[in-house]
Amino acid sequence: MSGEKWRRADGYEKIRDFSAIGYLTAAELVRISGGRVPVGMIEIDGNGQPLGAFMNNQTADRMKTDTYDPETDRYVTTGVNADAGRYLYNHYMYPFERYPIAGLIWYQGESDLTPDNAFRYPACFGELIKYMRGTHNTVNPEFPVFYVEFPPLFDCPAGFPADSEWVYLDLGLIRSVMGTVQRESDSCYQAVSCDLFSDRSFWNSLHPNIKDKQALRIAQLIASVNGSGAPLYEATGPIAGKVTLSEDGRTAVITYRNVGDGLAASDGGKDVLGFTLCGKDGIPDRSLTFTARITGKDTVTIESDTEICGIAYNGIFDMVFGSDLNLVGSAGMPAGATYFRTDD
């Protein structure tokens, strides 16, 4: 950090290589404050790396997110694009220890899509947050974390030219499991994206052209949390809190918070779209049948003919708000992805 200083984002050449979401979020926050509050953004870009690359040494050791390879003399993590563990923290995040920061925006997780990585993600990310809160801010040690829900993703459609590039990953499982971070770690907030993208003809749904919309959501969420914006139920959707199972394990009641005046289906009915039951392996399985209905101001009841092993909301990669998802709060903001394992 020696010799580095803040730079004004006042021209395309200065921002062209910076995070689009970072810049656009900052610009919206400046607009919300009427230009009275300057906003500084620091980008740490993992370029598609799994969570293990962002881990600090102590947390990586405790959570076992990598293994030491004596031949290369480095720690190797797991996941898509996996390479060296810890290096993003040690090279780019460590220099900011003890540096006062107001919060963290997190857009990552695509490379943790495998079940092994996905199921461990909330605990590992939660421990990283805990470590950073203890070392990165002596002014506000409980700084908030705002992470982005992955929008819908679409596989290559029939008839698409064979020699053209189509970018896609099945992020359904990791998206739903990441939704539990805001339930399991304090002061964490999910920026909902399920209603921001639905273009099945766009070749790169892994990087959809909605960064401006996502940045607006993040900025509105930040403003709500810091007291300068709308109430939280207008900035993000209903948040799943707990699940209660019947004695026979065939009925589950999910209790939500942040519902405003109450839960609703966007189509005006009582039936809820977007839930999927999971098999014994914890993977969402579209073939399992059930009903899901709003049964109270803050409750959804799921009933099945067989024992419920797990529940995902927005756990299938190509679910789109309106046609496949419809749970909202009274302000019309969609519920974010979430996941429950009920057979533990």
pLDDT of residue 159: 82
**What are the sequence ranges of the domains in the chain?**
12-235, 239-341
Indicate if the pLDDT at residue 162 is higher than 80.
no
Q: Is residue 297 pLDDT above 70, yes or no?
A: yes
- At 29, phi and psi to the nearest 5? -65, -40
Q: What is the mean pLDDT of residues 88-104?
A: 90
Q: What is the CATH number of domain 12-235?
A: 3.40.50
**Residue with structure tokens 């950073």?**
132
Instruction: Please name the residue that has the structure tokens 């974010």.
Output: 336
Q: Which helix (H) or strand (E) is 148 found in, with range? A: strand 145-148
Alpha-carbon distance values, 39 to 22, 26, 42, 135 (Å): 10, 6, 10, 22
Please tell me the distance from the alpha carbon of residue 320 to that of residue 182, in angstroms, as a whole number. Answer: 22
Residue where the block lists tokens 């998802």: 325
Q: CA–CA distance from 260 to each of 110, 188, 228, 230 (Å)? A: 31, 19, 18, 12
- Mean pLDDT across the chain: 94
DSSP state string for 318-340: T--BTTTB-EE-TT-PBPPPEEE
pLDDT at 47: 82
pTM of this structure: 0.95
Q: What is the mean pLDDT of the segment spanning 169-198?
A: 98
pLDDT reported for residue 96: 87
Residue 5: predicted pLDDT: 84
DSSP state letter for 194: T
Dig out the tokens for 182 from the structure: 């805001």
